Every structure is written in C-alpha cells, then in structure tokens.
Structure 1
Amino acid sequence: MDAKDSARVEPSGLESGESGEDRPKEPASVPTPPPAPGTTSPTLPASPVKHGVRFWGIIAALCLLSFISALDVAIVTTALPTITRQIGGETEYIWIADSFVLASSVLQPLLGQLADIIGRRLPLIASAALFAVGSGVAGGASNVAMLIAGRTVQGVGAGGLYVLLDIICCDLVPLRERGKYLGILLSWAGIGAAVGPGVGGALAEKDWRWIFYLNIPICGVALGIILAFMRVKTGQKGSYKFRQIDYLGNLIFIPSITAFLLGLFIGGVSYPWSSWHVVLPLVLGAVGWAAFHLQQHFTSTPSIPSRLFANRTSATAYFLTFLSSTIVQMISYFMPVYFQAVQATTVLDSGTYYLPFAFGTLAFAVVSGALLSHFGAYRPLHAASFALSAVGFGLFTLLTDQSPKVMWAWFELIASMGTGAILSVLLPAVMAALPESDVAAASAAYCFIRTFGYIWGVTIASLVFNAQFNRNLGVISDPTLRDMLKDGAAYAFASQAHAAKEILLGTNPGLWNEIVSVYIKSLNTIWWVGLGISILGFFCVSLERGLELRRTLETEYGIDESKS
C-alpha cells in the first residue's frame, strides 16, 4: 500500500452506515478491533512518545504565531478609538476593524486546499510574512485608507495562520494526543488575548504605531524557528496537483461570504437592519453560499467536501464549534461592558477584571486537552463544558452594581471552565470519523465555522443588547441621555460611564441608578440567551458517537526524518 493509500485508511471507529462506506478499510493485521457503535474508546492512556528537538521547535513557532495573532486582535480592539482619533477616519471606524475579520475569513477553505497541494511549510511562511508586512503597512499608515489596506493584508496572513496552526499540529501527533497540543497552542492564544487590552491601552497612550510594529520582530523570530526546524514532508509532488484547486468553488465562496459578512457588519451600524443596503448582501450571500455547497457536492476537487458533514459525529462537532464560539464571544465582548457601565470602572480596569475569565479559559483548555489524551473520550468533556457554561451564564444574571469582586471573579472562573474546556477537544471529535487525508479540509472548515461563530456571537449579543436597551429607555428620566444611549450608542457610552457616574452622583444620583438598571436588564438578556445556547449545545452532544481516537499517525505531511 503506497503513501497515498495509507493516508486514506479508514479510522477504526468510523461510523457504520455513514460517510466513508466506499473508502478502504483497516488492514486485517491491525490488532486492535474497532469499538462497538456508540461506545467510547478504552480508558487506557496512549503510550508516551519522546519527541525530538525539531518537533519542539515547530511547536514553539506555532505557539509564538498563535500568541501574536491573538494579541493583535485584542490590542487593536482596545486601542482603536485612540487610533481613529489621531489618524482620522471616525466614519470608517467599522472598516478598520472588520477589514481584518473579512480578509481572515473568506480565504480559509482555499488555504486549506493549498496546504494539501504544496505542503504546509510554504503557506505557513507566506502567512506569517503577510501578517508582518500588513503590520508594517498599518503601523506606518499616514491615512485611514492605508491603515485599512494594512489591516486587510494582516487579515489574509492571520487567516492562513488560523488554518495552518491546526493543520500542522494534526500532522505532528496522533489524533489521541491532539487535544493536549491544541490546548498548548490555545493557551498561548489565551495569554495574548488576556494581556492585549492592557498592552493596547498602554501603547495607545504612548505611540499607537507600535501596536502594529510589535508584531514584526515576533513574526521574525517565529519565521527563523520555522526555517531552522520545520523540515516536513510535502505530500504528493507534481504540477498536476494545481489542477486540484477548486477554482469555481472559490469563485463562488469568496464573494458570497464577503457579501454576507458585509451585511452583518453594516447592519444596525451604518444602516438599519431593514434597509436594502443590509438585506441585499445578506440574501445574495446566503444564496451564493447555498450554491457553493451544491457545487461542492458534484465537483471532483472540493475545497470543503460534503463528506465532512456526512457523518453525525463530525457534523455535530462542527455545530458545537459554532455554538461554543458564539457564547465565548458573547462573554468576551459584554463582560467588559458590565464592568465599565455597571461597576463604573475604567477601560483599563475592566481589562484587569476580565483576567479571571481569560486565564481560566486558557488553563481549562490545557486541562481538557490532557484529559482527552489520557482517557480518549470527548463526549463527556463536551457535555461538561456546555453544562458549566450554562451554570456560568446563569450566575451572571445575579450580577448587579453591588456585587463584590470575589463574586464576579468566581462567576468568571466557572464560566471559563465551560468555554475553555471545549476549545481543545472539538477538532479531535471532528476528525474521529474522518481519515487523516481529510485533515487540511476538515481543519479549514473547522476554522471557518469557528470564525463565523465569533462573528455571530458579537452580532446576536449586540442585537439583543440594543433591542433590550431601547425597550427600557423609558426608565431613564432625562430625555437628553435617552437620545445619547439609544440605537446602539449604549455600548460605546460604557467606556465613559465612570466619568458620568462622578458627575451624576453629585447632581442627580437617581438618574445614575436608572442608567445602571437599564444596563443590568440589557446584559441579563444576553446572559439568558447564552444560557439557552449552552443548554442547546449540551443536548446536541448526545448526537455524537463515542469513537476511538487513533493512537498512530499516518500522514504524508509529518516531520521528514530524512532531512537533517
């Protein structure tokens, strides 16, 4: 059996009667029989494997790139008001932020396919280089158009990093071990996200350009490590492989997702949701997206093969990825609003108060990944994660302006157990019923769904918050303040609430209490929605099957031991 056939050996736990019925079966010589359908894998830990210097060098580079890509997002989000105030472009505020998200999302399926065609090393180097170049352009921007261009280039690079970090991690270790190493990568991303607001606030006060310049030396170090240590196989060779690019599919997917995301970005911000400016791109994007999946079913070179969703375990794991991304983003965007508007803290202090959730998330991602590697069972971890997430959201509904620090800190930690533990154990569940030859396509689909969930997390929470705030505006007795806070303005006002509190407590303390009460009601609605999504995720776990996670690694793209 040659390398290509070996890479397509069916996993021992493939679901009977679902996808893969026509693929090659496990060789009869494999000593471990497949588990019975619906059973979990044995609880014996996998045999420890000693990894060499090159392995840990690659892991170090992946951790650095994971850290800097998350740090950049967190820093820019905090410093964006300062940046737009100094460079101009207040009316283009949305595009400075969303050009990055858009560029990082739409190319992910194509990047996954390219990783199969030319190997992982060159796309990773190109992605890190683009991220660094975009950072330099954004840091040296003399006008808002140049800043948006730099953020767009950054986004293309970041999109490649998001996809390739997961793919390369899957190439390095067997499926049983992936949760542990994905947890390590996610922990570095968590550190970047946690320290980002503080670093962003500090750099914005000194020189905002260093927010972007900071990325360049870190990317340089990561690239140096990649060039020194990353000697990996490139899969099948030959120029014919470029014929396998899904040209038509990408020509449909990229403009369709671009249109759909543009509708989400401008809805409720630049135009009302009922405006044709919003409805038209949403409809065109949705129709194009449906056409893309239809085309994927019939083409011989799909970038997102239909078989990825043809078994219930992978399909459910993808859906759980979307749900978990949605709820973590709800907390990430609106927990700081609680601190700023209800507890009346500064933006910098709200970032500090958010740390229990941020560090808790990364810690529990590592713990759950280690548990998955030891026991090999992902369903209990999925169920426990969504259950703890539901408890966390329920506890958030108890928060008021009188809640002590110890109370909200513990609530954040409990919520982080749920949102963190799920992060490192979803991709292994996706791959449990798929062959190793689908690693790149499955990881690209996973990354896109995760990114899409992040976008919807902000969109759903913002819609709920704004609608609830408008509904309760009558509680605020001052008509001027009502006008200042309506139609989404309450989110931006939160950063200035601590200054407003000082003024109102001296002149009209009752008015301040009215404002706080409306914020609490609006935030509670978000927490209830998050609780509902968590419960939905908990029950969806029952749709997964407990498949055995492969203990051996068969890939065309692993470390090439023949190269020194």
Structure 2
Amino acid sequence: MPEQEPAPQGSNTNITAVTQMDEPESFQHSWRLWTIFLVLCMLSFMASIDSTIITTSLPIVTREVGGAGQYVWIANSYLFACTVPQPLYGQIADIFGRRNPIFVAIVLFTLGSGLAGGAHNVGMLITGRTIQGLGSGGLYVLSDIIICDLIPPRYRGPYMSAVLSTAAIGTTIGPIIGGALAQENWRWVFWINIPVMGVGLLAIILALNVRYKRSPTWLHALARVDFLGNAIFIPTMVALFFGLIMGGQNGYPWGSWRIVLPLVLGVLGWAAFHVYEASPFCREPSMPTRLFKHRTSATGFLMIFLASIIMQAIGYFLPIYFQAVKGTTPLMSGVSFLPFALAIIPFGGLAGTFMSKTGLYRPLHWIGFALSAVGAGLFSILHETSSRGAWIGFQVIASGGTGLIFTATLPSTLAALPESDVAVATGTYSFVRSLGLVWGATMASIAFNGQVNVHLDIVAEPEIRSLLADGGAYTYAGGLTSLPDPARGQVIRVYELALRATWLVFVGVACLGFLITFVEKHVELRKDHSTEFGLAKKLPTEDEAEKGGRTSSPDAETVGEVN
C-alpha cells in the first residue's frame, strides 16, 4: 500500500475511512451520494437550458410583452446575473455551509422563473431573468463545490464529466425546447422550471446534510463576508460585460464612448478589486491572491479561460454556418449542432476514468488543446457543399478537445490548493470560465464582422452590402434563402470567407492553450481528502433542517467508507 499523506491539522477526517480510500477498490457510494449527485446534474441541466432557451422563443415573447428594442437585455440580463456573484457564492459556502446557499440558489431560480413566465411587460421579464441568473450562478458554483466535498480528488473526474455533459446538452437543446414550447405557450419556457426545482429542493432537503463549522453568531458570520470587495467587483464586472457584449452592436460601435468608458472602468475596477483583496484591509477575501501563486493552479485558471473562449465561439458561429451557408432554419441549426454537445459525454467520461485510474491530467490537457486546434482548423475548410459526414466528424473532434479540458481542469486547479480553499477556488474557477464564454462570443464577433466588411466587395448589390455591414451579417444569417441568384451565391461566399478567418483565430487560441500546458507542474491527485464539509451520518430532524441542517452528531459519513 502506498505511503499515506498526513491529514492537515484540525481535520475532521475519519482516519479509518481515509486508510480505506488509499486503494481505489474501496471507493463506494451511499444512496445519499447518488441522490445528491443526480440532483446536482439535474440542477446543472436546467440552469444551462435557461441560458439559451430564450433565443428561439424571443421573437414570440417580445411580440406579447413588448420590448423588441430591449431584446439584448432580455437575453443578457441572465448572463450578467449568473456570472458576477459566483466568487461571492464560493465565499458564503464556507461561511454558511453548502446546504443553505444552495437552498437560496434554488429559490431564486424558481422565483425568477415564475416572474419571467408571468411577465406582462418587458421590465418584469428582465427582472425575472435577472433573478433567475442570480440563482443559476449559485447552482453552477455550488454543484462543483459539493462534488469536491463528497469525492476525493483522484475520483472527481467522472462526476465532473457528468455535470459538464448535462450542462452541455442543456445549452445545446435549450433553443430546441424553447422553440417547441413557444409554439404552444411561451410562458412555459420559464414555468417548466418550477416543478423540476421543487423536486430538486425536496431531494436536497432529504439527502444533503453537510457539516460545517458555524460562526458563533449571525453578526460574526456576516462580518466575514467580503462586502466591500464585492461592492467593487460586481459593478466592475457589469461594466466590463456591458462593453464586451454591446460593443459592435447597432448604435454601439467599438469606438463609441458608450463602449470605451465601461471597458476602461471595468479594467480599472478589476485592478482595484485585486489590490484590495491582497491588502490587509480585506480580512477574508472572496478571491484571495494565494489561489494564483502556484503555477499549476494559475495555469488551470488560464486554461479554462481559453477553453471557454473556444467553446463559446463554436457555440455561436457553427450555427451561423448551418443557417447562412447550408441554408437551414434556426431550429434545425440547433439540431445540426447536437453532435458537438453529445460527443462531450464519451470524451468527458474517458477523461474522468483516465484520471481516476492514473492520477494524471497533463496528457489530457495536451490532447484536449490539440484536438481543439485541429477541430477549429477543420471548421475553416467547411463550405456550402461540405458533406454531412464532414461537419459531424469535425464537430466530434472539436468536442473531444472540450470534453477532455473541461473535465480535467478543475481537479488539476484544485490539486495544488488545500481543501480549505476548495469553495473560494471553485467560485473563482466558475467565474473565470464564464468570463471566457463572454470573451469567446466577443472575439468571434469582432473577427467575423471585420472579415465580412473586408469581403463585402464580392456582393454586387449595394442594398445587400448595407444589410451585412458592421455586424448585420450575424442577424441576417437566416434570411439568405429568399435571395435570388447570383446574389445568394455571393453572400454565401462572404460568409464562407469570414467564417474561415474566424476559425483560424481560434486555432491560434487553442495553440496558445497547448503551449501553456507545459507550464503546469504535476501535483498528485490525492485518494483521500480532509474536509470540514463532509456528509453528516445523522439526517436532520425537521427542527434541525429549519435551523440549517446542523446535527447533534459530530461524526461524518466519509464518501469512501465501506458500508
């Protein structure tokens, strides 16, 4: 048996159970772990669906409640609210435990769904979407944190892969579900979440009873929250996201002060936030600088940022290829994109199994970025007559890169950090991942719109050129089928050339990610872990559940314990 690493001081780890976990064969599951894991997958699935479900139903929704001019905010208010509180969720999970924050996240998501579904004006709809997003951000972060609490680092890969796969499928089928529901009653686009969240809340109440070290008073607990840091961070990120998302839109050119000012304020505010977090004035930072001091952890944050950029670019612009070049409907472009989402499942599963068996993750990062580079490069050769086998096969290759990187990166990022930093590190990781998604859409849009403008001289008709110029090509992608020849062929050629150049940009991003993998150092993935947030043996009584799930028993049910 290999030599056991000593447990950190103050650990509540069950020594017997830790010894048993030295051998992979002793790792077993209780019914509570399975219940919690399946519920977390379900919550992740629903939250990811809602990030894209509005896209196909938005025209119908705005016709009924108004706000056609505010369609960008209807879609992006969810993204804003989902992303900016993620580091805060990580911190409050340490202060208030895992159970209470996930209750709050589920309730916020459900409340927002009810408000959005019952909206009678655009203001109420945007409010509902914002509240939904606040809940969704907590679901993303807390799902990863709870998995890390329950599963030792060596065995986390398959569980991370499953959550990633359900999220990827949800994001992909969101537009399909939204389009189908909107044809019957658009309000069920949002109301469908309510019964599902109810089931999730009940299951969490019954199964998730996680220990944590309570503060002596609520006042003491609140004093630990990084309120000032988040007062700097949240408006800073809103300003930055506003500039990145609105830049290049109609009426908001990149050179406009309305875009430049938020971007400058966002960058300056972000710098001020990190200065404050590193200062002695911040007693308990929500994004501590120690997370970035180990090269493996710092590299992990950078890798997930780059991988998210690539994934979002594919998610935004592969459907444009199907609609503009292949002539499919928006709904069918979503169906054509399914190979990318579905292929993540086997690749993520292979990555998780490989890590569990070998404890290695660097080879997965190498292969993942290599596949991403090859996949993006292959997308650049797609054209109007490309076969179905070609665009399906190319998606599978690119999806393989995404599945490997996303599965292997959180375990590697946490490997160099103590278990006490799992929550804040996961909150930071989740935020960096979401920030990468925003950058991916922005970078791809800048590259695509710029290349459309470069090749507009191919189109003979001035009216059509004006429709495509300065960002119009993205919205116009589904309207090509009504164009007569030769104008249709000319416009398709513009899209082909613009998309080709766009994909080559992301070949470069993937190559950068590949080079960065050589910076990280291998840190052993432990087969045991010492955490203050293990499952309590005793399920809470009704009174104890109302008080946050505190049990009278100090013992913990260790996940790897043989029953």
TM-score, with structure 1 as normaliser: 0.90
Q: Name the structure 2 match of 1:537.
A: 513
- The partner residue of 1:5 within 1, 9, 12 is 9
Alpha-carbon spacing, 1:48–1:534, altered in 2? closer, same or farther (3 Å): farther
**SS in structure 2 at match of 1:344:** coil
Aligned to 1:137: 115
CA contact (8 A) 1:45 1:373 kept: no
Matched residue SS, 1:6: coil
Aligned to 2:269: 288
The answer to whether 1:495 aligns with 2:495 is no
State the AA in 1 paired with 2:458: V
Give a deviation string over 1:24-80, Cα, whole Å, max 9, x none.
xxx9xx99xxxxxxxxxxxx9733411111111111110110110011122112222
Instruction: Please list the CA deviations of residues 236-255 of structure 1 after superposition, one character each: whole Å capped at 9, or x if unmatched.
Output: 44222332211221111111
RMSD: 1.9
Among 311, 325, 329, the alignment partner of 1:342 is: 325
Which range moved further: 552-561 or 231-240?
231-240
Displacement of 1:226 in angstroms is: 0.4
Q: Which position in structure 1 is the counterpart of 2:43?
A: 65
2:236 counterpart of 1:256: yes
Is the Cα–Cα contact under 8 Å of residues 432 and 549 in structure 1 kept in the other structure? yes
Runs ≥4 residues deviating over 4 A: none
Whether the 8 Å CA contact 1:174–1:553 is kept in 2: the answer is yes
Deviation at 1:263, TM superposition (A): 1.5
Structure 1 range deviating more: 387-396 or 196-205: 196-205
Partner of 2:524: 548
Cα displacement string for residues 142-188 of structure 1 (whole angstroms, at most 9, x for unaligned residues) = 01111000000001001111110111110011011111111111122
Provide the rounded CA distance (Å) in 2 between the counterparts of 1:558 and 1:437: 12
* Cα shift readout 1:208-250 (whole Å, capped 9, x = no counterpart): 1110011111111111110111111123442223322112211
2:553 maps to which residue? none
Q: Which residue of 2 aligns with 1:558?
A: 534
Q: Indicate the SS of the match to 2:10.
A: helix
Matched residue SS, 2:211:
coil
- 8 Å CA contact 2:8, 2:530 repeated in 1: no
Matched, 1:96 2:79: no
Which AA in structure 2 matches 1:135? Answer: S
Per the TM alignment, residue 375 of structure 1 is displaced from its structure 2 partner at its CA by 1.1
Deviation of the 1:414 alpha carbon: 0.9
User: Whole-Å Cα distance in 2 between the matches of residues 546 and 431 of structure 1?
Assistant: 12
* Closer, same or farther: CA 121–105 of 1 in aligned 2, 3 Å: same
Q: Does 1:55 align with 2:14?
A: no
The 2-side partners of 1:540 and 1:8 are apart by 37
In 1: Cα distance, 2:163 partner to 2:531 partner: 21
Aligned-pair CA distance for 1:296:
0.8
Q: Deviations over 1:244-288 (max 9, x none)?
A: 211221111111111111112221114111111111111111111
Contact 2:239/2:263 (<8 A) preserved: yes
Find the counterpart in structure 1 of residue 416 from structure 2: 433
The CA distance in 1 between the partners of 2:539 and 2:473, in whole Å, is 58
Give the partner amino acid of 2:538: S
1-side partners of 2:56 and 2:346: how far apart? 23
Match of 2:181 in 1: 203
| CA offset digits 1:427-475 (Å, max 9, x no partner) | 1111111000000000000000000000000000011111110111111
Partner of 1:246: 226
Q: How many residues align?
A: 525
- Aligned partner of 2:369: which letter? F
C-alpha contact (below 8 Å) 1:340/1:346 kept by paired residues:
yes
Match of 1:448 among 425, 431, 435: 431
Matches within 5 A, 1:373-412: 373-412=356-395
Q: Which amino acid aligns with 2:223?
A: R
- Deviation per CA, 1:521-551: give whole Å up to 9, x if none: 1111111011000000001000000110011
**1:34 equivalent in structure 2:** none
Residue 399 of structure 1 and its aligned partner are, at CA, apart by: 0.6
1:350-361 map, 5 Å? 350-361=333-344
Partner of 1:17: none
Once the two structures are TM-superposed, the CA of residue 8 in structure 1 deviates from its matched residue by: 11
Give 1:495 deviation, angstroms.
2.0
Checking the alignment, whether the CA contact within 8 Å between 1:8 and 1:437 is kept in structure 2 is no
Matched with 1:37 is: none
How many Å separate the matches in 2 of 1:94 and 1:5? 51
2:309 aligned residue: 326
Which of 528, 538, 561 does residue 504 from structure 2 map onto?
528
1:265 aligns with 2:245: yes
In structure 2, do the counterparts of structure 1 residues 399 and 542 end up closer, same or farther at CA, with 3 Å as the change threshold? same
Give the Cα–Cα distance (whole angstroms) in 2 for the partners of residues 466 and 400 of structure 1: 18
Q: Does 1:413 align with 2:396?
A: yes
Query: What residue identity is the alignment partner of 1:68?
Result: M
Q: Aligned equivalents of 2:64 and 2:347: distance in 1?
A: 39
**Whole-Å separation in 1 of the counterparts to 2:34 and 2:120:** 40
Is the contact between residue 165 and residue 341 of structure 2 (CA under 8 Å) also seen in structure 1? Answer: no
| Alpha-carbon separation, structure 1, partners of 2:419 and 2:291 | 12
Q: CA deviation at 1:106?
A: 1.4
The SS at the match of 1:47 is helix
Report the CA distance between 1:7 and its aligned residue.
Answer: 4.6
Deviations 1:6-27 (A, max 9, x none): 3599xxxxxxxxxxxxxxxxx9
* One-letter amino acid matched to 2:523: L
AA of the residue aligned to 1:95: W
Q: 1:422 aligns to what SS in structure 2?
A: helix
Please give the secondary structure, in 2, of the residue aligned with 1:5.
coil
Structure 2 residue identity aligned to 1:264: L
Q: How far off is 1:131 after superposition?
A: 0.4
Distance 2:222 2:7 in 1: 19
* 8 Å CA contact retained: 1:329, 1:457: yes
More divergent stretch after superposition (262-271 vs 124-133):
262-271
CA gap 1:550/1:102 in 2 versus in 1, 3 angstroms:
same
C-alpha separation in 1, matches of 2:7 and 2:202 = 30
1:484 is aligned to 2:467: yes
Unpaired runs of 5+ residues, structure 2, are: 1-5, 541-563
- Residue 186 of structure 2 aligns to a residue in which SS? coil
Say if 1:134 and 1:154, in contact at 8 Å, map to a contact too. yes
Residue in 1 that maps onto 2:549: none
- What's the counterpart of residue 77 of structure 1? 55
Whether the 8 Å CA contact 2:115–2:128 is kept in 1: the answer is: yes
The answer to whether the aligner puts 1:212 opposite 2:197 as a matched pair is no
Paired AA for residue 520 in structure 2: E
| Deviation digits for residues 98-125 of structure 1 (CA, Å, limit 9, x no counterpart) | 1111111111111111100010001101
Identify the residue that residue 124 of structure 1 maps to in structure 2. 102
The answer to whether 1:161 aligns with 2:147 is no
Whether the 8 Å contact between 2:92 and 2:101 is mirrored in structure 1 is yes
Residue aligned with 2:53, SS? helix
SS in 2 for 1:111: helix
Opposite residue 224 of structure 2, the aligned amino acid is Q
Aligned partner letter, 1:401: E
> Structure 2-normalised TM-score?
0.90
Write the distance in 2 (CA, Å) between the matches of 1:329 and 1:71. 15
Deviation, structure 1 residue 556: 0.6
| Counterpart in the other structure of 2:278 | 297
